[in-house]
Amino acid sequence: MTDDDLPATRSVDSNLFITVSGPPGCGATTVSEGLSAALDCGYVSGGDIFRQLADDRDMSLSQLIAKTDETDEIDRALDRRLRTIAEKWGAANKPFVLESRLAGWLAGNRADLRIWLDAPNEVRVDRTSDREEMEAEMRVREVSEAGRYRSYYGIDVDDRSFYDLAINTGRWTPETTLEMILTAVEAYDPELDEGAFYTDDVEV
């Protein structure tokens, strides 16, 4: 799933604050951009914030990624910015999309709908083949990040129990994946909602 696959979307009237999470190559950026267009709302990506941090420090992305293995300062700076965004939009009663690996955790109960996207490893590797990062590097980074999140926050990124939707994007087209999510958003009725999972705030 690439940005070129982004489908033309229908318009959906909603005020939900939505988080989108998943590993590299899962299609989170494409889905988030589609949701933002359909809901006519703002969208922030953890990747964009990470690039801002790199620019702030006059570092390349690869240099900043390497730095995250040396100190927790980079991860925590990123997560604090994402938390601030989540706090703002969680209280705004307006639609918004926040996308990052930890978006669901950082937004916590401020989020109205938490989405997890994934796909088989070979699919994700193929989707990211045009990026600078190679397959081995991608997998090493995923393992490293999972260890850091557990160490910093006690988060198990493999715990999908509190997500409202979990979709294998390798089984459907980008358009179909987006349509499934939009259908859930459009049909959501807070008065009938009996299934929200409570999560404690992550200390960042």
Distance, in Å, from the CA atom of 89 to the CA atom of 95, rounded to the nearest integer, reads 8
The interaxial angle of helices 135-153 and 73-90, nearest 10 deg, is 70
Return the H-helix or E-strand segment holding 153: helix 135-153
Query: What would the mean pLDDT of 25-41 be, rounded to a whole number?
Result: 95
| 98-102, 113-117, 135-139, 156-160: the lowest-pLDDT one | 135-139
CATH: 1.10.357.10, 3.40.1440.60, 3.40.50.300, 3.10.20.600. Which one for 13-187? Answer: 3.40.50.300
Mean pLDDT across the chain, nearest whole number?
88
**pLDDT, tens digit (0-9, with 9 covering 90-100), for 109-141:** 999 999 999 999 889 988 887 765 555 666 667
For residue 141, give Cα distances in angstroms to 29, 110, 116, 147, 199.
18, 28, 19, 10, 26
Query: What would the mean pLDDT of 92-98 be, rounded to a whole number?
Result: 95
Query: What would the mean pLDDT of 187-193 be, rounded to a whole number?
Result: 91
Nearest to 35 by CA among 168, 169, 177, 139: 177
Nearest to 159 by CA among 99, 100, 101: 101
Provide the pLDDT for residue 19: 98
Query: What would the mean pLDDT of 147-164 be, rounded to a whole number?
Result: 90
Residue at 62: amino acid letter: S
Distance, in Å, from the CA atom of 142 to the CA atom of 83, rounded to the nearest integer, reads 21
pLDDT at residue 5 above 90? no
Model confidence, pTM: 0.88
**pLDDT, tens digit (0-9, with 9 covering 90-100), for 44-90:** 999 899 999 999 999 988 888 888 878 889 989 999 999 999 999 99
